[in-house]
Structure 1
Amino acid sequence: MVRTEVLIIGAGMSGLGQAIELARSGVDFLVLEKAHDVGGTWRDNTYPGASCDVESVLYSYSRERKPDWSAAFAGQAEILGYLRTVARRRGLLPRIRFGVEVTEARWESSTGEWIVSTASGTTYIGRFLILGVGGLHAPQVPDLPGADSFSGDVWHSSCWNHDADLTGKRVALVGVGASGVQLVPHLAERASELTVFQRTAAWVLPKADTPVPAWRQRLFRWLPWTQALHRLRIYLRREKRGIGFHSRPDAMRVAEQVVLRQIEDQIDDAALRDVVTPKYRMGCKRVLFSNEYYRTLNAPHVHVVAGQPVALRSDAVVDDAGNEHKTDAVIYATGFDVTGSYDRIHIEGVDGRVLKDEWLSAPRSYNGVAVPGFPNMFVLLGPNGVVPYTAVVVNIEAQARYVVRAIRATRSARARALAVRPEAERRFQDELRGRSGRTVWLAGGCRSWYQNGSPSGTVLWPGSTLEYRWRLRRLRRRDFVFIPLQNREFMRAR
């Protein structure tokens, strides 16, 4: 058995962000990571063209600046290198247990501790449990009839097969989300025929990506405050754009015109233009960025199918109209099961409550970080704790500081545990329900994973990150129960 005060599950961007904050605060902790490297999403997603759609200078920790980003929008390898450097520079590596797959986390009411079991048999015990497992971890792959009979290669974009040579092959790409849009130009250069299955057209804005000049890198290195100002400018610009997402969906029309002009200018065939033109408000689904996507669809060997596969044959994909498309390889860019990361770990709270069962109808939380019935447990980038229009790092850092405040409050109350009151979560969800209806995510005329069956109706935070950070600036003690060991009030706080 290994004991510590705080156990963090996951060494991706959220887990490392929390580790940085705990280390700064002098709190003892360990990070349990099932892989053998840090990085999470940026370690696993190595498909060609993988890059961030948020500016590099903002997609980084506020206290861990990198003055020499090579481009305005960094690629996968550079982001992963940055996270490795941060972990090393901050002295986090000795606190990370690599190759440790967590199978179960169980709250022990008698001792006020979390008992964490692992596949290797080692047990870890901590007062506080922090889930930094992320929502982009469990690939979502369609279960198609005939999959066993397909003779070609099949893989998900997040598990890229680097040994497969697609040169001269017939390739079917399923999905035009963020990964799919980035993959299309790469695949079109190599495949003899590329068939793109598009269930719903995406809004794809041009990407203002340019190399960062050497003089700017030197300026940021010599005068760090200039990079801080640059970061602040980008952050505030994104917050201004965010108004169209969370408050004024009609304002998205301006950006829509940019995409519509791009479609008109870059796609020659009128029928294809109609197929790739979205029929819902921009922002209702994730907004994508690419300078090559629409232009690539013009190529004679690239075909867009308005629909989705329904079956596989030995050498073909069958669409929902019954047409067969001959192919040698199928690549799924079909996204992730956002709750799958939590489902793979048996997380048991008070009286045997299981998180997976509690979130069976829809995941929900208090302030995006706490769940009733699970004392001393916090979720990073959990339900209602994230927005899709800016860098997730902004919310990660706000949540990491909030967790430290909760730990300090528990200590100052001389309590063994704190538990969010169920009525506090209900008030939070009721507030969000009253606000979410005006957001583009619910009022934009589409169906997406942003929507769910929770009381709030959405998995997102329906406001600005400025407001979210302000909300998390302090811990509302009246929304929690602080429980001395063996206190009966603890049982009533379930």
Structure 2
Amino acid sequence: MHSLSGGDFEVVILGAGMSGLCMAIQLQRAGIRDFVVLEKSAGIGGTWWDNRYPGAQVDVPAPAYSFSFAPNRHWTHRFADAHEIHAYQQRLVEDHGLLPHIRLGHAVVEARFDAEAGRWRLSLDDGSAISARFFVCSTGPLSRPRWPDIAGLAGFRGRLLHSARWPADADLAGQRVGVIGTGSTAAQLVPALAPAVARLSVFQRTPNWILPCVDRRYGRLDHWAMRLPAYAALARHAWVQVLELGRRGFDEGTLARRLMIRAAAAHLRRQVADPALRARLAPTYPLGCKRIIYSNDYYRALAQSDLVTAPIQAVTATGVQTADGREHELDALVCATGFDTVRPLAGLRIIGRDGQALEEAWRGGPSAYLGLTVPGFPNLFLTLGPNTGTGHTSTLLFIEPQVAHVLACMERVRQEGRRWIAVRADVFAAQDAAVQRRLAGAVWSHCSSWYRDENGRIFAIWPGFTGEYVKAVRRPDAAAYELG
């Protein structure tokens, strides 16, 4: 492996999370070893390096959160904790010999396409420069923390934390702690914090749909069975099908939807005895419009906490002031407010074939052909790009066919002796318009969420079932691309 500074590579992969690791493994399997994985963090893992807050875990069954080519027999629970997922990622690196290809602590600040050479020229944050024929952005949509836009936040004199940048020394035991945000992250964080802190104030803007989590601990028999390739594949397939049934719950009038709504109502009644508190926790938007939360202990933790539903007016030096005139004095304030999904590549300037920057192409909102590539940006591929998010299943089910698609495009360029490949503008526009038409009347259009931008465009979610996406993506349509 040659040195990074001044290096010329066949492929540069940006990000060492799940999609970046999958891309690297499949490159090796295809016989392509001239690649480098650039990761801005101090360790691999992507979102699982960033999200190490107390209680962090995956919200789909673990067998579905491992690659089809690399089943994991080490899961201890059906819903794996963050440290278990990170351990799985470490094993992927070790088992596939990826360490020599990974460069930690390196961020790309600019990528410019050289049309004459058919190469991407990349400038790094340390002043060095490299080039690559193919540039794969595997940063994903959940990489840049989003801080709430609240007056006075920067002036808070206590400890200010974000769930996606949780420090190892964050011991909040015995303190007065506030949590802003009540989404998936908070549903995991709040139960972990509640027993340890002196007082927990949870600031809720919108109550969410919460279903019971069918978690269980895996025993010796499970671990033995997972050593059998046929059983591991069957367990993964079975859970994938269960998750697809859950997707039917997003469609109005289906039996799955009726059952899920009833299950959520029953769960709320069982866990919250106080009718007044129950009313404050009842969601007011349609099921599925935001990501559904699966938790057995969130409601119980809220019952032991101070649930604040009055709007936040400002953050003061010593706490949070709400519109009802109360000031909630705090020693620490935690922002469980998610990620900047509208600008996932902010801080990286990507300039295409005709000198246009990607941020300019995305002025109307992030969009890409099948979430993978953008016209005018040859040899650039995104994984988990626009409109490839899922509200019901494992992202790994989308990553694997995306990687297969990218590899097929790379192979075509090499086989035909070309310099570059790019999606045709008309094909991209037609596919994007078709996706937006389907989304216009879907459940995700009925509320505000991180799936939508400020103009209401749904840029994150795939409108159909997983199988439909896999079929559309795995083998590229030759007519959809132009070569140069």
Q: Normalised by the shorter chain, which TM-score bucket?
A: over 0.9
- Residue of structure 2 in register with 1:467 after alignment: 468
In structure 2, distance between residues paired with 1:246 and 1:123: 49
In structure 1, distance between residues paired with 2:316 and 2:463: 43
1:364 pairs with 2:370? no
Summarize the Cα distance change of 1:186–1:243 in structure 2 as closer, same or farther, 3 Å threshold. same
Summarize the Cα distance change of 1:247–1:226 in structure 2 as closer, same or farther, 3 Å threshold. farther
In structure 1, distance between residues paired with 2:99 and 2:316: 47
SS of the residue 2:257 aligns to: helix
In structure 2, distance between residues paired with 1:389 and 1:148: 35
Gaps of 5+ in 1: 484-494
Q: Which of residues 385, 406, 422 is equivalent to 1:382?
A: 385
Partner deviation per Cα, 1:211-238 (whole Å, 9 max, x = no partner):
11111211221x2111101111111111
SS of the residue 1:51 aligns to: coil
SS of the residue 1:161 aligns to: coil
- Residue of structure 2 in register with 1:487 after alignment: none
In structure 2, distance between residues paired with 1:146 and 1:424: 47
In structure 2, distance between residues paired with 1:180 and 1:61: 27
Gaps of 5+ in 2: 1-5
In structure 1, distance between residues paired with 2:362 and 2:162: 26
Paired residue type of 2:468 = E
Report if aligned partners of 1:432, 1:456 keep a CA contact under 8 Å in 2.
Answer: no
Report if aligned partners of 1:198, 1:305 keep a CA contact under 8 Å in 2.
Answer: yes
1:266 pairs with 2:271? yes
1:65 pairs with 2:71? yes
1:36 pairs with 2:36? no
In structure 2, distance between residues paired with 1:118 and 1:331: 32
Partner deviation per Cα, 1:417-441 (whole Å, 9 max, x = no partner):
0111111111101211232234321
Report deviation, 1:161: 3.4
Q: How many residues were matched structurally? A: 478
SS of the residue 2:109 aligns to: strand
In structure 2, distance between residues paired with 1:137 and 1:307: 30
In structure 1, distance between residues paired with 2:231 and 2:132: 41
Over aligned residues, Cα RMSD in angstroms? 1.8
Partner deviation per Cα, 1:84-105 (whole Å, 9 max, x = no partner):
1101110111111222111111
Q: Structure 1 vs Structure 2: percent identity of aligned residues?
A: 38
- Residue of structure 2 in register with 1:198 after alignment: 204
- Residue of structure 1 in register with 2:168 after alignment: 162
- Residue of structure 2 in register with 1:351 after alignment: 354
1:108 pairs with 2:114? yes
Summarize the Cα distance change of 1:435–1:340 in structure 2 as closer, same or farther, 3 Å threshold. closer
Partner deviation per Cα, 1:251-304 (whole Å, 9 max, x = no partner):
4231121111121122122221111110111111001111111112222xx111
Deviates more, 1:253-262 or 1:313-322: 313-322
Report if aligned partners of 1:10, 1:132 keep a CA contact under 8 Å in 2.
Answer: yes
Partner deviation per Cα, 1:186-229 (whole Å, 9 max, x = no partner):
221122221111111111111111111111211221x2111101
Partner deviation per Cα, 1:340-381 (whole Å, 9 max, x = no partner):
431111111122211122213310111110101101101000
In structure 2, distance between residues paired with 1:142 and 1:297: 21
In structure 2, distance between residues paired with 1:392 and 1:94: 26
Report if aligned partners of 1:244, 1:440 keep a CA contact under 8 Å in 2.
Answer: no
Report if aligned partners of 1:252, 1:283 keep a CA contact under 8 Å in 2.
Answer: no
Paired residue type of 1:317 = V
Summarize the Cα distance change of 1:455–1:206 in structure 2 as closer, same or farther, 3 Å threshold. closer
Report if aligned partners of 1:364, 1:454 keep a CA contact under 8 Å in 2.
Answer: no
Partner deviation per Cα, 1:380-421 (whole Å, 9 max, x = no partner):
000012322100001000100000011111222221101111
- Residue of structure 2 in register with 1:481 after alignment: 482
Runs of 4+ with deviation above 3 angstroms: 246-251, 452-458
- Residue of structure 2 in register with 1:330 after alignment: 333
Paired residue type of 1:417 = W
Report deviation, 1:313: 1.6
- Residue of structure 1 in register with 2:3 after alignment: none
1:94 pairs with 2:90? no
Report if aligned partners of 2:177, 2:199 keep a CA contact under 8 Å in 1.
Answer: yes
- Residue of structure 1 in register with 2:136 after alignment: 130
Partner deviation per Cα, 1:7-33 (whole Å, 9 max, x = no partner):
110001111111111111112321111
SS of the residue 1:190 aligns to: coil
Summarize the Cα distance change of 1:246–1:478 in structure 2 as closer, same or farther, 3 Å threshold. farther
Q: Which of residues 296, 321, 339 is equivalent to 2:301?
A: 296
- Residue of structure 2 in register with 1:83 after alignment: 89
SS of the residue 1:351 aligns to: coil
In structure 2, distance between residues paired with 1:320 and 1:477: 58
SS of the residue 1:57 aligns to: helix
In structure 1, distance between residues paired with 2:391 and 2:238: 18
Report if aligned partners of 2:342, 2:453 keep a CA contact under 8 Å in 1.
Answer: no
Summarize the Cα distance change of 1:426–1:264 in structure 2 as closer, same or farther, 3 Å threshold. same
SS of the residue 1:65 aligns to: coil
In structure 2, distance between residues paired with 1:344 and 1:137: 12
1:282 pairs with 2:287? yes
Instruction: With the length of structure 2 as denominator, give the TM-score of the two structures.
Output: 0.95
SS of the residue 1:21 aligns to: helix
Deviates more, 1:310-319 or 1:273-282: 310-319
In structure 1, distance between residues paired with 2:341 and 2:383: 13
Summarize the Cα distance change of 1:148–1:241 in structure 2 as closer, same or farther, 3 Å threshold. closer
Summarize the Cα distance change of 1:162–1:453 in structure 2 as closer, same or farther, 3 Å threshold. closer
Summarize the Cα distance change of 1:308–1:345 in structure 2 as closer, same or farther, 3 Å threshold. farther
